[in-house]
Amino acid sequence: MSVQDEHRKTRLNRHRSLRGLGIAAIMALTVSTCLGIVGPTTAANAATPKPAPVPASLVGGLLQTVQGLTEGVTGLVDDSHWGDASADKAAKGSDGKNHPDVDPGSLYTIENAIGARNVWMAKDSSGRQITGQGVGVALLDSGTAPVDGLNGAGKLTYGPDLSIESNGSLTDQDTFGHGTHLAGIIGARDAATLDAKSIPKLSPSVQLGVAPDSKLLSIKLATSDGSTDVSQIVAALNWITEHQTSADGTRIRVVNLSFGTDSLQPYQVDPVAAAAENAWRHGLVVVVSGGNEGPTAGRLTDPAIDPYVLAVGSSDGGNTPTGWSHPTVASYSSSGTASRHVDLLAPGRSVASLRAPGSFVDTEHPEGLVSGDTAGRLFRGSGTSQAAAVVSGAAALLLQAYPNLTPDQIKAALVSTATPMTANPVNAGSGQLNVSAAMTKAATLARAQTGLLGSVLGTLGGSAPNTTQSFPIATGQGSIDAARGGYSLVDADNNVLSGEVDVQGNPWLPATWWAASSSLTSWSGGLWLGQIWTGNGWQPAGSDAASARWSSARWSSARWSDAGWDSARWSSARWSSARWSSARWSDASWDSARWSDARWS
């Protein structure tokens, strides 16, 4: 059975209930994650309370506004989505082919704009090119497909699949497509020699991520429609905090989490924020997307609300290759407050990265295919999730060069050297990422940390500047249901996942969880908090030596069993045109004709 057929069987039901709200009020509702967004239609209505529950999603680059409402069901319209005809047009030559050197969203263009390719020209203290070598980046997302550019020996390792699809035949597969896109931005690696002599001569069509020699650890959390629960996010953050060495011995230093909910709890009591902060405190640079709700958001999504982690917004180069030298804040990038806003911006508009053939995004969004890409490898997307991936790659470069720097120091180096912008810091943070300048700052911090600049420069240093963050500590003693922010999964029997329980229905006990989480004892083999969530350990790499995998095991809960994924569940009644009138992903993808009886027979 094909991936397309399988993921049609495994698509989670989405539930929306609007409680006692009038049509005028509902028009102003904001329903958001970092990745799939429904924004307010007018500033006057922006303060209207949000509906609950609706589903949490890992839907990067899908930026939407409320269009209307009929009989309690919202209609959704994209502000921006996968694909960008303007960027495709700018990148296409007279031969009809895509030319990455003039593509405003190509990895080649973006890496030159932020100075990453200049950094590659330098060497670390061991004489290696600074391309992310020896640094592991954990990608908590929808999985990663081993496509060209991600299938080199040792490039990709699969951690535990904590998604609901791990209970079926789709373990570790990127059935959604989002994770593969971000993996390409962070660490794509086509075959090429990377040294000071060859780097300037590389063809722009060679796909190389920001940190092309970093190792990627994929932890799948989302299903084929991008859905996941916050308890799965917390479990994954706990797992990577307690397993910081990959199967081949690579140390994981960076965590990319392009996810968020509308939790209104203070970050100090929110369990998702506390799990992310706990990872940070145990030596991991946690990079999160700030949200795609635009300039009227007034609040970052959770866990970007936690001031310790590195929250990233998106810049916009105006669809010209030179536009990144004078960028603006992307129209979808969430604003924050004076006390908590994104820390910095990175290019996130119309990014052309690797495609996951046969995934949901790939099959439902042909407009995302990069026009003129004769190899058919590339897909274009926009969002703060793409921007976060750029910053994750940048952090990996700094950590190869200066592996003893702490997460606080890496954050200080990146944030303090960002290129300033005229925009309000509430929207733009400190400005747009500048990797070259950040590397210089990192050298200063490393010199001050040791009293010596080290073998790179070999001169005496000064006293260490204070880069230690001292915000109140998050302990996650609030509500797991409140952390969902009104986003809920629905099981096969149409029961909404809500209340103080995890995705398997186990009681959520904040004090017990925090005691285990903070002491790095929440996981034991495949058990999280005493319940089966995955297998017990690493399996060896296959015969092609491409990927090692963490073993899998079915959950003990019957709630998400195979019976729950019967194709009969997805009748046309379930996917009526009223429920999906305008589409969560794009207007063309979710019209009633697409979801006909013939589709689901």
Whether the pLDDT of residue 435 is over 70: the answer is yes
Does residue 36 form part of some domain? yes
**Which CATH number does the domain housing residue 172 bear?**
3.40.50.200
Nearest-angstrom CA–CA distance, 243 and 20: 46
Whether 39 is covered by a domain: the verdict is yes
Residue 434 counted as domain residue: no
Residue 430 lies in a domain: no
Q: What is the pLDDT of residues 523-545, one digit of tens each?
A: 999 999 999 999 888 887 665 44
Q: Is residue 432 part of a domain?
A: no
Which residues does residue 80 pair with via DSSP β-bridges, in sequence order?
Answer: 63
Residue 208 belongs to a domain: yes
- Cα–Cα distance measured from residue 330 to residue 485, given in angstroms and rounded to the nearest whole number: 24
Q: Quick check: 324 pLDDT over 60?
A: yes
Q: What is the pTM of this model?
A: 0.81
Q: Is the pLDDT of residue 107 over 90?
A: yes
Give the β-pairing of 538-539 and 549-550: antiparallel
DSSP 35: S
The predicted-structure confidence for 4-59, as pLDDT tens digits, reads as follows: 444 333 333 333 222 222 222 222 222 233 333 223 233 333 333 333 333 344 43
Q: What pLDDT score was predicted for residue 151?
A: 95
Angle subtended by helix axes 271-281 and 510-518, to nearest 10: 10
Instruction: Assign 579 a pLDDT band (cuts: 50, 70, 90).
Output: very low
Domain annotation covers residue 438: no
Helices (H), 243-303: 271-281
Structure tokens belonging to residue 31: 């329903």
Query: Could you tell me if residue 431 is inside a domain?
Result: no
- Structural domain that includes position 78: 1-424+444-601
Q: What's the whole-number mean pLDDT along residues 519-523?
A: 98
Encode pLDDT of 144-188 as tens digits.
999 999 999 999 999 999 999 887 778 999 999 999 999 999 999
Chain segment 244-286, per-residue pLDDT in tens: 999 999 999 999 999 999 999 999 999 999 999 999 999 999 9
CA atoms within 13 A on the CB side of 183: 34
The DSSP annotation for 174-196 comes to: -SSSHHHHHHHHHH-B-S---ST
> How many distinct structural domains can be found in the chain?
1
DSSP state, residue 358: T
Look at residue 164 and give its three-state secondary structure: helix
Bridge partners of 245? Answer: 251
pLDDT of residue 556: 59
The dihedral sign for the CA sequence 482, 580, 492, 549: negative
pLDDT tens string 298-319: 999 999 999 999 999 999 999 9
